[in-house]
Amino acid sequence: MSPAIDDPHNARSRRTRDALLAATREILESDGFDALTMAEVAQRAGVSRRAVYLHFRSRTDMVTALFGYVAGQEGLAESLAGVWEAADSTEALRAWVRHLVRYHPRLTAMNHALDRVDPQDPDAARHKRTVATAQLDNCRRIAARLADEGRLASPWTADTAADMLWSLISTDLFDRLMVDRGWPEERVLEHLLVLYESTFVR
């Protein structure tokens, strides 16, 4: 087996890699983690299995790369820019809520696939940990800034506020409001802004 391409540098190689990751996401969202095999990815992407192994040594490598791919496709860095560039901690919290309402519903199908997966699947578990770690790190930055600027409401500490902010990143919340109850995005944003500010800001 040829060594995998760790850093695809030419346009054709990047297109193939992106096609493989797009196929990976499509399989996960439509059929779940159990259906994700190198052969299925190759078939869905219209390439040979050898082409898959040229880019990813294993299913594990492919799923690991998926986080960065999805973040890039859905504009995670751009969506978070308003949080980190906010003038003060209160505006950062508002920008965080806007980010959640804008970004999180786009990942609903993938999040449902993760929820359905066998907890013993090591690749799925690793992907979930990667996502959760990144989310918690973001929440810690926001909570720490609120605390540092003296804007964090009682009885929260930076640690407990971060934990609660993280727990509020919920697919169920958006499903129930936007799908089950038919709330438009604007209403969700308006009410979540009130909820977050009244809860966390003094």
Mark whether 93 and 185 lie in a shared domain: yes
Tally the domains of the chain: 2
Show the tokens assigned to 95.
């920008």
* Closest to 153 measured CA to CA, from 96, 198, 87: 198
**Per-residue pLDDT tens for 62-108?**
988 988 898 899 999 999 999 999 999 999 999 999 999 999 998 88
- The confidence score (pLDDT) of residue 179 equals 93
**Per-residue pLDDT tens for 152-188?**
999 999 999 999 999 999 999 999 999 999 999 999 9
Measured between alpha carbons, how far is 29 from 73 in angstroms, rounded to an integer? 15
Q: Which domain holds residue 55?
A: 11-66
**Per-residue pLDDT tens for 18-57?**
999 999 999 998 998 889 899 999 999 999 999 999 999 9
Is the pLDDT score of 2 beyond 50?
no
Give the mean model confidence (pLDDT) for residues 101-124: 82
Mark whether 86 and 176 lie in a shared domain: yes
Show the tokens assigned to 176.
């129930």
Mark whether 131 and 42 lie in a shared domain: no
